[in-house]
Amino acid sequence: MSLSFASLPLSLAPGLTPGGVAYAKTMPGVTAPFGLFDPLGLTPETKEELLLFREAELAHGRVAMMGALGFLVQSHFAPMYDMDSAPVIRHLDKVLQTENGQLGSSCLLLAIFFSEIQRARTGWVEPEVAMRTLREGYLPGDLGFDPMGLKPKGEAELLAMQNKELNNGRLAMLAIAGMTAQELVTGQQNF
């Protein structure tokens, strides 16, 4: 039995209208060398759903960038416990065993909880009004939090920064998955 990919349809998502793809091609993140990279045809049909996907992509990309940086830092700097060669993915167990480890972890979870509440209040319509709906005029990922004034003023500079954030977030999502998988398979630190 041989398997041929030549007979597969180009779009694997049934009922996909060009409206979703056409709008997606105008959004930040469509950069060389791939352009709009959607080999499985998962681009939503509507602009609203596409913006929800982008909000999720930005949130996960930002967490992955922090996670990848944390992976590197934690490999070489661990002030809360004695460092050894255990994989980074096992360090949380050690932190929780320290005197203030559970308190620190609880504070971290509370910070995540409150930041997610603020993100929902900033960008999402109240659930009793509409479920899974972003506010009118809200740009995915723009939480209005820029205390250092890093957000560019011009449109070209803003697009360049958005492209960098999306591409770095995409790379970080792959990187953190790869680093975690490598430590799970080898049982040793990566760095």
* Furthest CA-CA distance within the chain: 61
For residue 176, with 0-12 CB atoms within 10 Å meaning exposed, 13-18 middle and 19 or more buried, which class applies?
A: buried
Residue 60, marked binder: yes
156 in Cβ contact with 176 (< 8 Å): no
- Residue 12 DSSP one-character state: -
Residue 62, marked binder: yes
The amino acid present at 146, given as its one-letter code, is D
DSSP helix/strand/coil, 162: helix
Residue 168, marked binder: yes
Q: How far apart are CA 11 and CA 14, in angstroms?
A: 7
Residue 100, marked binder: no
The amino acid present at 156, given as its one-letter code, is A
The annotation places the binding site for chlorophyll b at 62, 168
Which residue positions form the known binding site?
57, 60, 62, 164-165, 168, 170, 182
> Which residues belong to the annotated binding site for chlorophyll a?
57, 60, 164-165, 170, 182
